[in-house]
Amino acid sequence: MKTDFDILELGQSDLRRIAEPVTDIQSTVFQQKIDALIEFVKQRGGMGIAATQVGINQRFFIMSSHPNDRYPYAPDMPATSVINPEIVWHSDAMEKDWEGCLSVPGLRALVPRYQQIKVRYLLRNGELVETEYHDFMARLFQHELDHLDGKVFVDRVESSLDMMTESSWRSMLTQQSGDNDK
Ligand code: ZN
């Protein structure tokens, strides 16, 4: 199985395409794309990847979550395929928190996102999921859904002062961990 995808990076026009709804969910070809992207996320230890980031112009992404050194408060969620996703409701409240992206290497930024969302999507077996996410998972979902609309997290950053290089961000976290009791 091909899992050595080339990731499209900021500046490559295909990253800005608006993806088409998935209509071949039960097909072997589509199921293999899901397998390949799940394997890719596992190998890279990432939290998610959208089809458009590897040049697949279809509306689906993989979402996977586990606590780690970058996001110690992330919940546990096995790699899940999220197909034809929609946000059907969102809170008025927005929150800023740090994001990064495989398509924007070396950069971290504070990104405002809805704190709570209600969503609808299909699983790979065609089952409809209607659920609610808040905080970290809501952020991850919004980040990945943006990719399907050709948007990248830096588009939503309010100020260049909310951006950091990966190495500055890591040293900030190291400094903060001394007074963080969570
Ligand atoms: Zn991303």
Domain annotation covers residue 8: no
Judge whether 170 lies within some domain.
Answer: yes
Q: Which residues of the chain have pLDDT under 70?
A: 1-3, 178-182
* pLDDT value at residue 178: 61
Inside any domain, residue 4: no
* Å from CA of 95 to ligand 1 middle: 18
Question: How close is the Cα of 152 to the center of ligand 1, in Å?
Answer: 6
> Do 113 and 140 form a contact (C-beta atoms < 8 A)?
no
**Residue 67: its pLDDT value, please?**
85
pTM for the full predicted model: 0.92
pLDDT tens digits, 122-172: 999 999 999 999 999 999 999 999 999 999 999 999 999 999 999 999 898
pLDDT of residue 2: 59
From the CA of 129, how far away is ligand 1's center (Å)? Answer: 22
144 is catalytic: yes
CATH number, domain of 55, equals 3.90.45.10
- The rounded Cα 163 to chain-centroid distance in angstroms is 18
DSSP state for residue 146 in the 8-state scheme:
H
Domain count within the chain: 1
Structural domain boundaries, residue 24: 13-180
Residue 1: inside a domain, yes or no?
no
